[in-house]
Structure 1
């Protein structure tokens, strides 16, 4: 998974990323099925809680990025986040069907994810100089390698949940995160040149307590706060407030750094396009998973394939293509780097649209034959998984290339907010269109119409992007906002 030209520290970053993917996607594959089967939530309630959790998971990286930039450094923040995620998955794995226990476990995972997710990408970015040509390959490699965990997790956790119970599947996700943390810690000597803890800032006093004391207070209060948000279904209100705050932060950064303004506009445009992509992609954990559970014929030989195992399909597609793409992104590639960024985004959206059209065809087959095809389902999910390689790795490489000390972690967190929190919340709103009071012929028709609309809108957006890019290229105007950060 690593070429000799890459820094040796990438081994340990890739290792913890693999196990983080294992823990997160193992739990994600089970969650909505656990809510509908074990806790007897109806589809609408289950989608609402799933999207609230998934959106809150991506709210916290803004604060996690700020804490890493100002206080802990990326490496320590990653370690703290991994510990919290391990604890949250273990709580989820306890033998209890209490909704309060579920909310608390999800809240702890939300806090851990905030410290981990944006800062693991920033830690990787610290391994390269600003103009290092290996950077894009490193990010594609990390993204593809992490999917080893997301391939294995739904299979291992899904089968464990089917054979031994839901809580065994959840506990395995926590054990995986702990293994990843131990591997990461074993390579500490390779990270000596990265930013460490800001001890003077932690010892300084703010409102009576030292800053480290306030961090401990926050660690105790935050899980309770997020538990209340999940119980009361208030995630949308917090998300709106955080989005306003994030917009104000971006505006302040632009005002303070006029020399980087074009590059910052690039990030804003990538955020908006990435949000559209992830509204579609996050249907995999909610509406698509429920469609598979309700309508797909999952019989293979004498075995019923658990619904959770289908979550591995898009990860297999990412893994299969990722190493090839990392090899193709090599020094000396010709053409406009700004144009390449947008063409990659357009291609990713085109693949996503094609995947939804396949799902729409499959839903229509379900109407005709009484059940949908497993092979068409796999083909559609594979296209969607392949599409991911043209979105996040490209955007993350562009953000960490900005070379703006003190704000990289915050910008990464804001990207996570847009493409994670906002996209997941919107994905839940969109997925509610598929829910009905009972499983019926009308319901499968609703899924077919829903998938068809998603595919048509996405392919329409791709057509608009290509027309705009072609027009500006012919007029010689380039691509606005991309010139500075797009240079390699």
Structure 2
């Protein structure tokens, strides 16, 4: 396989269509199964043991967000294997085959819990394993001579993700409704196989940045280790130790329940506990290393140390984005359940009754609006703001995106209040919160693809993209933690005493959570030093 490719001055790399085509089919396969998962689980025999509809809805939401947590946790594994051993191309290809096997399990074991949940695990592993790599692999095809084309491709990349997601979100609920789960999960599996084949076809044209294979003495973790341990202990070493001991204590307290000791909250299962432990390790080691990074000076080149400093700054940005994902991912769980309780307005002349027959299909609004908003923002909104004297930086776009997403949940909460008062609410009203959430998503997520790649040093791009996707894992964690807390009888009693329902309370709670995060993001962004880490032209 070729490891180099000529970069035409200022021209688009000819291998990009293979990566974009792969992404379109893979996104159809992923969103095709993801967006029907909650309604399938609620009505399936897999949750038939639960006594009532509310319990099945709660269990379906927990399963869905646990799956999402897995999808966005495994990028750590994919990024590590790629950077250290196999390179991006090989890692993407092998994890894609695991991905295909997971889809096959969903189609074959719709009524078998072991088989179906194994399929979800394999999809989480395969999808997560390739997730940090495809974007960075795409970025590797550019250098300083044509980096101006990278922004166009990153936007096109995000646009094509939503192209696949749109058709999957629109069609798969109809397939589930008319043909059953075997076809509804089988068709996305076929698309994943096609995605893998398209990616393989471009194998002789790619630029392949070789992996470090563990031989880089100035890798991210080596510099962090030197900062913490290289010249004796310091305050940062203590902070890192507290984080790691805290993580071990959480896992131990959780495990004690098997010995009949219930110190750890019963509602906090393994997924919540493991995520909290991971967060403690990242926070402790990251903050500890930042306190004494200068101790690595002399043991590693200055440029590598500054690269680690950049990564640690990026992790703070990422942490402040996690509340956004707690809102965004619930459009496939909380908003679907809300939509099922609404009235489909078949009597309205403009409602496409011939196509939209299920509330689950409202999720198609999100990718459709993304495809419209990205060109609108780039061609109309951003140029207009620049002419008015506003500097539309990446961090400003992300901060506003978090706040606008919070506003979408206020609108959803107001709709929920009307439903809780016994009013019949048209499903068409969900269009407004979807529009606001999608506008926020474009400002946050599409911008972050370019931001994360440009800020990460070349040797650390795979790892930093894995950390970016990990923000969704912690977004799912906030959902599971909040849902588990609200189900406590004392909390439910307090909510009801205020005249609220659980659903309405949660919607306004998450809106407030995101508003606080947007404010903190804006304050941090004011002092963030931007970097330029595109590959130097050959």
User: Shorter-chain TM-score: what band?
Assistant: 0.7 to 0.9
Match of 2:279 among 243, 258, 271: 243
Corresponding residue for 2:83? 69
User: Which residue of 35, 43, 58 maps to 1:29?
Assistant: 35
CA distance in 2, matches of 1:155, 1:339: 33
Residue pair 2:109, 2:116 contacting (<8 A) in 1 also: no
Given candidates 355, 370, 375, the residue that maps to 1:318 is 370
1:300 match: secondary structure: coil
Partner of 1:126: 140
Which residue of structure 1 lines up, in the alignment, with residue 186 of structure 2? Answer: 171
- Aligned counterparts of 1:334 and 1:71: Cα–Cα separation in 2: 48
Secondary structure of 2:393's match?
helix
Instruction: Report the CA distance shift for 1:374/1:436 in structure 2 as closer, same or farther (over 3 A).
Output: farther
1:22-421 correspondence runs (5 A)? 22-38=28-44, 39=46, 40=48, 42-129=56-143, 132-191=147-206, 193-195=207-209, 234-247=270-283, 250=286, 257-293=304-340, 295-301=341-347, 305-325=357-377, 340-368=393-421, 370-402=423-455, 404-417=457-470, 419-421=471-473
CA distance in 2, matches of 1:85, 1:163: 26
Cα distance change of structure 1 residues 435 and 31 upon mapping to structure 2, 3 Å threshold: farther
Higher relative contact order (CA 8 A, sep 6+): 1
How far apart are 1:345 and its partner, in Å?
1.1
> Residues 351 and 383 of structure 1 are in contact (CA less than 8 Å); yes or no, is this contact kept in structure 2?
yes
1:94 offset after TM fit, Å?
Answer: 0.9
Give, in whole Å, the separation in 2 of the partners of 1:65 and 1:180: 20
Contact 1:29 1:285 in 2 (8 A): yes
Asked whether the equivalents of residues 141 and 323 of structure 1 are also in contact (C-alpha less than 8 Å), the reply is: no
Q: State the alpha-carbon separation in 2 of the partners of residues 288 and 436 from structure 1.
A: 22
How many angstroms does 1:62 deviate by?
Answer: 0.7
The Cα offsets for residues 315-354 of structure 1, whole Å up to 9 and x where unpaired, read as: 1111111234455789xx8999997122101221132122
Please name the residue that 2:7 is paired with.
none
8 Å CA contact 2:458–2:534 kept in 1: the answer is no
Which deviations, in whole Å up to 9, do the C-alpha atoms of 1:168-207 show, x marking residues without a partner? Answer: 101111111111222222222321x223678999xxxxxx
Once residues 434 and 483 of structure 2 are traced to their aligned partners in structure 1, the CA distance between those partners, rounded to angstroms, is: 17
- For 1:7 and 1:402, the matched residues in 2 are separated by 22
**Does 2:501 align with 1:454?**
no
Shift of residue 426, structure 1, vs aligned partner: 1.5
- For each residue in 1:90-147, what CA deviation from the matched residue of structure 2 results, as whole angstroms up to 9, or x when unmatched? 1101154111111110111122123210000110110122682333332222112111
Answer whether contact 1:246 1:414 (CA < 8 A) is retained: no
Distance 1:323 1:247 in 2: 37
Deviations along 1:213-243, one digit per CA (max 9) or x if unpaired, are: xxxxxxxxxxxxxxxxxxx952223323433
Q: Deviations over 1:433-465 (max 9, x none)?
A: 78799xxxx898432333233334434544565
Structure 1 residue 159: Cα displacement: 0.8
Aligned to 1:481, which of 509, 517, 528?
Answer: 528
Q: 1:337 to 1:77 in 2, by over 3 A?
A: farther
Gaps of 5+ in 2: 1-9, 51-55, 216-267, 348-352, 490-495
Hey, what's the Cα distance between the residues in 1 that align with 2:485 and 2:359?
Answer: 21
Change (3 A) 1:399 1:178: same
TM-score, normalization by structure 2: 0.73
> TM-score, with normalisation over the residues of structure 1?
0.80
Q: Distance in 2 between matches of 1:456 and 1:58?
A: 24
State the distance in 1 between where 2:170 and 2:405 align.
Answer: 23
1:37 Cα deviation after fit: 0.7
Tell whether the 8 Å contact from 2:75 to 2:128 is kept in structure 1 after alignment: yes
Q: Deviation digits for residues 44-74 of structure 1, max 9, x if unmatched?
A: 2222221111101111111110111122211
Aligned twin of 1:217:
none
CA separation in 1, counterparts of 2:115 and 2:500? 34
Give the Cα separation in 1 of the matches to 2:142 and 2:27.
Answer: 23
Could you say which structure has the larger radius of gyration?
Answer: 2
Q: Which runs of 5+ in 1 are unaligned?
A: 202-231, 470-477
Matched residue count: 439
